[in-house]
Amino acid sequence: MTDTIEETARFSPKFNADGLVVAAAVEHGTGRLLMIAYMNAEALQKTIDTGEAWYWSRSRGELWRKGATSGHTQKVVEMRVDCDQDAIELIVDQTGPACHTQRRSCFYRRIENGPDGAKLVFVE
């Protein structure tokens, strides 16, 4: 029997054409989605090695450790990979806000459809 990617124990993340994989940070204890970011191979390995969340900043074109300047760190409790290994879930203990807007989560607006179309409603 041949192991398919969905059933193997071999970690083989699928990076996109830019060398990145999407990473979702979820708050340990609540399961709340805090943020979505990207990791390159170095960020992924640093996260595995250090137990702290590292990401690749597409806008700055550089590696960054979450909280390096703000102090709002993410200690990784558990890491998971999705079925086809093209997305990483980080279950984290978040220190301070996760969002650069100083909100607990980057997902602080709800999309609502109304008579004039979709609009955003602040929920935090």
The percent of residues above 90 in pLDDT, for the chain, comes to 92
Residue 8 has what pLDDT?
87
CATH number for region 21-122:
3.10.20.810
Say if residue 93's pLDDT is above 50.
yes
The percent of residues above 70 in pLDDT, for the chain, comes to 98
Q: Identify the band that residue 1 occupies on the pLDDT scale cut at 50, 70 and 90.
A: very low
What pTM, to 2 d.p., does this model score? 0.90
- Show Cβ contacts of residue 42 under 8 Å, excluding neighbours closer than 6 positions: 54, 56, 63
Say if residue 122's pLDDT is above 90.
yes
pLDDT, tens digit, 9 for 90 and up, residues 20-79: 999 999 999 999 999 999 999 999 999 999 999 999 999 999 999 999 999 999 999 999
Q: Rounded to the nearest 5 degrees, what angle is found at the Cα of 32, between the Cα atoms of 26 and 37?
A: 40
Which residues in 1-124 belong to E strands, given as ranges? Answer: 21-27, 33-39, 54-57, 62-65, 74-81, 87-94, 109-114, 117-122
Q: Which two tokens stand for residue 5?
A: 């990617």
Residue 2 has what pLDDT?
56
Domain ranges of the chain: 21-122
